[in-house]
Chain A
Amino acid sequence: MKETILLTKILFKSSITQSNKKKNSIGKVLFYLFIYLYIAGFVGYISYEIIRSLMLIKQEAIFLNICFIVVLCFCLIQSIITSLNVLYFSKDIEILLPLPITPKNIIMAKLNSLILSQYILIAVILLPALLIYSYLLKLSILFLFVGIIIMLLFPIVPITIVACLTTIVMKFTNVVKNKDIVQYLTTGITLILIIALQFFYTGTNNQITNQELAQKIVENNGLIEVYSKYFITLTPTINSLLNYNNIQGILNILILFCESIIVYYLVTIIISKFYIETTTSVLSSNSKNSKKIEDKVFVKENTLISYIKKEFKILVRNPIFFMQCVLPSILFPFILLLPMFMSLKNMGSEQIKIFQDILSQIINEPIGVLGAIIFTIFLFMFNFCSVTCISRDGQNSTFMKYIPVDYKKQLLYKILPGVILNIIPISYVIIIAKLFISTIHLKTIFYIVSVSILINILNNYLMVLVDLKNPKLNWITEYAVVKQNFNIFFEILLIIIEIGAIILLGTFISNIDLVAVILIVMFLLLNILINKYINKQNVNLFKKIY
C-alpha cells in the first residue's frame, strides 16, 4: 500500500509537471487561470441556459443526467488515449519493471495517477455546472458537498473499465503494439468524433427558443435513461445528488462507492494478470527486420531541401507533433467552414443567390479584402510549427550549434515548414472565394495573397524567435512541447494584435488600393526589420540552447 501511494505521488507529479525545471511564473499561473476560467465560464453559461429552459417545464433534474453523460463520454474518450500511453507506452515502464514492485502495485499507481489527472479535467465541467445548478435551484451547501464526493467517485469506473478494455485489446491483438500507430489511431478517432459533433451541432443549431430547447432535451432524456441502464454508476450518481438531503442520497453514495471499489479491484486483478507479458511484448515489438540497403538510398540533396525534409519527417512521423502542429492547419479551416456550408445547405437557392450577391458586392471593397485577410490570418492561429520548432528538437537542438550551417540560414530552414503549412489556409480562402464569388477581381486575389504571405513569413519568424527566447528542451513526452508550452500564447496574441491593426486601418481608409499598399509596405518593412534583427543578434539568439 505504501509503495502504491509513493508511486502514485511520483507518477502524478511527473504527469502534471513534466519537464518544467523552473518554478511556475506568475505569467504561467495567470495563463492557466485564464484558460480555466474561460472554459468554466463557457460551461457555466451553457449550464445556465439549459437549466433555465428545463425549469420552464419543471424538469430541471434532467440537467444532472445530461451533465453526467457528458462527463462520462469525456472520461471514456480521454481514457482511451491516456490509458494506453500511461499503461503501455510511457518511458517509465522500463524503469518500473525491474524494481521490486508487484505488477498490481504498478497498475494501481498508474490507475490512481490517471484518475487524479482526470479530476483536474472534469472539475472544469462539473464544478461550474453543479454551482449553477445549486444557485438556480437555491439548494443548500450540502448539495455541493455531495457533488464533490460524487466528482471524486464518478471517474473511477469509466477509467478503470477503459484501462481494462485496452489491456485486453493489447493482449490479444498485434496491431496496437506500436506506440506511433496507437497514437495515430486515437488521434483519428478523436478527430472523427470532433467532426461528427460539428456535423451534429451545425445540423441542429437553428435559432430555437428555451421552450424548444427544453423539449429537445426531454426527448433526448429517454435515450440517456437507456444509457444509464448499461452504465451502472450513472443511476446512483444522479440519485445521490437528487436526494442529497435525505437517507436515499447517503445510500446511493454508498452504492456508488462500493461499485467503484469493486470495479477498481477487479480491473486491477485482471490487468495485473497480463501486464508483464503485454508490456514486455510492447517493449520488444520495436525491433523489426529492416529492408536491405540499395544504391538508391544514397541521395545527395541541397542543404535547404535536406533540412526541410528532415523537419517534415520529424513532424509527420511523430504522432503528437503531427496532431498538434500539422493537422490543425489542414483540418481547422475545413472544420470552421463546415457550419457555413451546412447553413448554405439549409438555405433555398434564392437565399443563396442573395448571399452571393452581397459577397460579390463587398469582396472587391476594403471590407471584403480585409475580411478575407483577417479570416486567413485567423487560420494561421492553428499552426504551431514555428513556435515549437526549437522545442520539438529537445536535447537534439544543440545539433544546430555544431553543424557548419549559418544560424540565419538554419532559422530560415526552421520556419519554412510553418510557412508552407500556412499556404494551406491561404489556398482554402482563395479557392472558396473564387468558386463562390465569380466577381472577385484578380487584383483582390493578389492583395489577399500578398498580405497573407507577408504576414505568414513575419509571424513564423517572430514565433521562432519566441521559441528561441524561451525554449522547452527538457521534455519527457512530446505533449509537453505544445500543450504545456506558454509560448503558443504569444502566437495567439500576435494574431489578435495584427487583426486589430488591420481593422483599425480599414476604419480610417476606404480606398482599397491604398489600404492594400499600406499593408504590403508595412509587413514588408517588418519582415526586413526582423531579418536585420536576426542578422545583428545571430549567435545571441541561440544562447539558451546548450
Chain B
Amino acid sequence: MIEISNVSKSYENNKKIIDNLNLKINDGEIFGFLGPNGAGKTTTIKMITGILKMEEGDILIDGISIKDNPVEAKKKFGFVPDSPDIFLKLKGIEYLNFLSDIYKVSINNRKEIIENLSKKFEIYDNLNDKIQNYSHGMRQKIVIIGALLHNPKNWILDEPMTGLDPKSSHILKELMKSHTQNGNSVFFSTHVLEVAEKICDRIGIINKGKLIFVGTYEEIKKQLKEDASLEDLFLQITE
C-alpha cells in the first residue's frame, strides 16, 4: 500500500510542480497514473521512491515513511525508472546479481526468479551479454526483472511498456494482474491509455501538478456524463 498525504514540491522559482497531492494505492489494486507531458507524473514517482525530496507532506510505503525511514521503505517496493539505460557496461546477469546482493536475495530465490522471468521475457540467452549490446526493449526487460527480484509487495513502474514488444507487454500486464491478485499493489505511469483502460482498477489523472481525477473508468464516465473511450475522456479532462 502506498499513501501520499499532502505532498507538495516546487521549482527553485517557487512555482509548484506538485500541489498538495493526496493519493492512496490500496493493496490488491493496479493504479494507473496518467497525465500530459510535464504534468508531474515522474516527479511524483521520484518522490515516492526517495529520489526527490518533498517539501511538504509525507509518503508511506506499507506504513513506513520514505522521509523518516528511507532504507526500510525502499525495501518495500521495486522500481522501474523511465530510462532503461542502466549500467550499460555490466552484463545482464551481473546487473541482476548486483541487485540481488543489494536486496539480499538468496542464491536459490535469485536463480529461480531470474530464470523464470528472463525465460518469460525471452532474454535468458542474452544474460551473459553486456547491457550496452541490448536493444531498448531488452534493456527495459532487464530493468523490470531487476525490480522484481526481491519480490516486493509494491511495484512502482514509470512508463514500463515503453519499448516492449507486444508479447512482452502482454506478459508484463499478466504479471501485474497476478501480483495484485495476491494482495499486492502496482502503481504505474503510462501514456498508453488503452493499457490503463484495460488493466487498471483505478486511475489517477494529474495535470499541472494537481490531481484532477481519481477513480475507476466507470466513475470518470459517470462524472463527465459521457460514454466515451478513456482517450476521449482524458483529452476532455486535461484540456
A residues with CB within 8 A of B: 286-288, 290-293, 295, 297-303, 305-307, 309-310, 313-314, 317-318, 395-396, 398-399, 401-406, 539, 543, 545-546
Contacts and interface: CB of A to CB of B under 8 A. Distances in A.
25 contacts: A288-B129, A290-B127, A290-B129, A291-B128, A293-B128, A298-B97, A300-B101, A300-B106, A300-B107, A306-B101, A307-B98, A307-B102, A310-B98, A313-B94, A318-B89, A398-B46, A401-B51, A403-B99, A403-B102, A404-B71, A404-B75, A405-B102, A543-B53, A546-B46, A546-B52
Contacts of B90: 310, 313-314
B132 interface: yes
B110 interface: yes
What bracket does the count of chain B residues touching chain A fall in? 35 or more
Interface string B101-120: 11110110011001000000
A286 B132 contact: yes
Contacts of A301: 97, 101
Given A290-B125, A403-B74, A546-B46, A297 B93 contact: yes
Contacts of B212: none
Given A290-B127, A291-B128, A401 B101 contact: no
Interface string B227-238: 000000000000
A432 to B, nearest CB: 34
Interface stretch (B78-86, B162-170, B185-193): B78-86
B102 A402 contact: no
Interface in B126-149: 126-130, 132-133
Contacts of A539: 53, 70
Nearest to A401: B51
Interface string B11-24: 00000000000000
A301 B103 CA distance: 11
Contacts of A292: 125, 128
Contacts of B128: 290-293, 297
A546 B74 CA distance: 16
Contact of B97 (A297, A398, A401): A297
Given A290-B127, A291-B128, A313 B89 contact: yes
A494 to B, nearest CB: 29
Contact of B51 (A287, A314, A398, A404): A398
B97 A299 contact: yes
Contacts of B53: 539, 543
Contact of B83 (A318, A395, A402): A395
Closest 7 CB pairs of A and B: A306-B101, A404-B74, A290-B128, A317-B89, A402-B49, A290-B129, A404-B75
A19 B79 CA distance: 27
Contact of B114 (A298, A300, A306, A396): A298
B124 interface: yes
Most buried by A among B81, B83, B128: B128
A85 B127 CA distance: 28
Contacts of A395: 83, 85
Contacts of A402: 49-51, 74, 79, 81
